[in-house]
Amino acid sequence: MLGVIRDAALGQWLRLLGAKSLARYPEELPDFTYSPHEPPSSTNKKPDTPTTVNEMEKGRSPTANEKKDEDTPAESSGGDDDSEKGITLVTWYSDDDPDNPHNWSFTKKMWLSMLLLVYTVSVYIGSSLYTASETDIISIFGVSNTLAALGLSLYILGYGIGPLLFAPLSEIPFIGRNPLYIYTYIIFVALAVAAALVDNFAGLLVLRFLLGFFGSPCLANAGASFGDFFGGGQMPYVIALWGGGATLSPALGPLVGGFAVQAEGWRWSSWELLWFSGPMLLVVLIGLPETSADHILLCRAKRLRELTGRSNLKSASEIKQAQLSPRQVAFDALIKPFEINILDPAMLFTTLYAALTYGLYYSFFESFPLVYQNIYGFNLGELGLSFVSVLSGLFVSIALYCSYFYYIGHPKMAKMETVPPEARLWPGLIASFLIPIGLFIFGRSTPISPLFTTTGLLCN
């Protein structure tokens, strides 16, 4: 547990203030000795990979990306420039190095998974919490239904744009994952306070966009964080559960906000967002460690240089980026993803399809009040209850998705020498037919009964 706190934001801040004795890294222990060809004295295993760039090129081990799908410790490689002769590679001390995220205990992985899930829920629920306040906003600020709906649209736009910046930045080893989570979440909580106190409509819309933008790193980087410490065989199940939570949380927004706004007024939806995110921020500050292997090894190399006084101790990411100019690093991190997305038809299609499904899903938050309040006579609280049908749909879809991979997908992939990305698409292809079916049921059954109308949302 001390290791988790040490590697979390609060622990790192305390270390910057000089409190390193609270939880030390192996390199900071009094009996630690380091040899580039042997593991530290506290372990008996020798590293399985060469420790210098020249040795490594003679018998190169798989890179972190190559090994990620094997749920084994990731090993990095450097370049083969002559200028790199004499540089010593800093990597994991052994196959079971406890600082390697893939070697973390099951309990620690479950803790981090739950943390990332609840963090995501606390941000995603903020999108639809606002919808419970729209009726009051229309009357108080004197705006139309269309303008009032911008509060939802701009929040979604914000956390759609945010990943375009925050996801690439998290892949830069010098930055890592945690700073993007922590500092944007602090801003998010501050903006939630401002949104609850704002007294003009234009300011509210600006705050709603910024809330979505600074809340987006959980959407942008949580999947990458899971990949840092789970193997490829475990990822479908983890992503299914995390994605289920991300899908369910907007559906809970009208339920959570409906009764409160009905009783206390429109500002309570923003206060509830603060009550969700504020305590969660404290937990993230204390209990969310860095998961990027490149960043962890970069920091280890820095500590070893301080310990030994040897400037030639480098991590693989440092060796690689030393050959790149800052402009190239920025291009690879910020521009390359756009280039791939635009030039690769498969990537472009999945991007557009995801945008379409998001748009259809969130359209229900504007269309449900038109149906359930205007036609069926529901109040705000009862309207929120209608979204609980999403929970039933998620239970069924997650169970079927995980069953497919457990009984069909993974046994089939185990026989493949190389698993193409398309092999994982079958559940999505089959489920895609439910979206138009759900929309048809919702549209045609509106005059009949709320039961059939809710079934349309369940299918989607």
Q: Is residue 361, in this structure, part of any structural domain at all?
A: yes
- Dist CA 92 CA 96 (whole Å): 8
8 Å CB contact between 253 and 131: yes
- Dist CA 427 CA 190 (whole Å): 40
- For residues 228 and 370, membership in a common domain is answered with no
Give the dihedral sign, CA 24/27/28/31: positive
Angle CA 365–256–211, to nearest 5: 70
Residue that the structure tokens 């200028």 belong to? 83
Specify the CATH number for the domain of residue 111: 1.20.1250.20
- For residues 391 and 454, membership in a common domain is answered with yes
Residue 56: per-residue pLDDT: 33
- For residues 422 and 440, membership in a common domain is answered with yes
- pLDDT > 90? residue 215: yes
- For residues 355 and 237, membership in a common domain is answered with no
As a whole-number percent, the residues of the chain with pLDDT over 90 amount to 30
Q: Is residue 188, in this structure, part of any structural domain at all?
A: yes
Confidence of residue 41 (pLDDT cuts 50, 70, 90): very low
- For residues 193 and 278, membership in a common domain is answered with yes
Residue 16: per-residue pLDDT: 85
- For residues 208 and 235, membership in a common domain is answered with yes
- Dist CA 125 CA 134 (whole Å): 16
Angle CA 381–267–198, to nearest 5: 155
Question: What's the DSSP call for residue 87?
Answer: P
Express each pLDDT in 81-134 by its tens digit.
434 457 888 888 888 888 999 999 999 999 999 999 999 999 999 998 998 898
Q: What is the mean pLDDT of the chain?
A: 82
- For residues 40 and 113, membership in a common domain is answered with no
Write the CB contacts of 25 (distance below 8 Å, at least 6 apart in sequence).
6, 99, 300, 303
Residue 460: per-residue pLDDT: 65
Number of domains present in the structure of the chain: 4
Q: Is residue 329, in this structure, part of any structural domain at all?
A: no
- pLDDT > 70? residue 376: yes
- For residues 300 and 259, membership in a common domain is answered with no
158 vs 155, 163, 178, 310, CA distance in Å?
5, 9, 20, 45
Which of residues 457 and 152 earns the better pLDDT score?
152
Q: What is the mean pLDDT of residues 247-259?
A: 87
- pLDDT > 80? residue 78: no
Helix (H, G, I), strand (E, B) or coil at 190: helix
309, β-bridge pairs: none
- Dist CA 89 CA 362 (whole Å): 49
Q: Is residue 336, in this structure, part of any structural domain at all?
A: no
- Which tokens sit at 180? 């993007």
Question: What's the DSSP call for residue 84?
Answer: G
Q: Is residue 331, in this structure, part of any structural domain at all?
A: no
Q: Is residue 339, in this structure, part of any structural domain at all?
A: no
- For residues 39 and 8, membership in a common domain is answered with no
Please state the φ and ψ torsions of residue 232, each to the nearest 5 degrees. -60, -35
Torsion of CA 299, 304, 310, 316, to 10 degrees: -40
8 Å CB contact between 413 and 419: yes
SS3 content of the chain, % helix, strand, coil (to 5): 75, 0, 25
- Dist CA 441 CA 453 (whole Å): 7
Q: Is residue 452, in this structure, part of any structural domain at all?
A: yes
Q: Is residue 332, in this structure, part of any structural domain at all?
A: no
- Give the range among 42-46, 313-317, 383-387 with minimum mean pLDDT: 42-46
- pLDDT > 90? residue 271: yes
Residue 36: per-residue pLDDT: 65
- For residues 391 and 313, membership in a common domain is answered with no
Q: What is the mean pLDDT of residues 348-368?
A: 87
- For residues 395 and 443, membership in a common domain is answered with yes
Q: What is the mean pLDDT of residues 15-37?
A: 76
Residue ranges making up the domain that contains 20: 1-27
- For residues 417 and 458, membership in a common domain is answered with yes
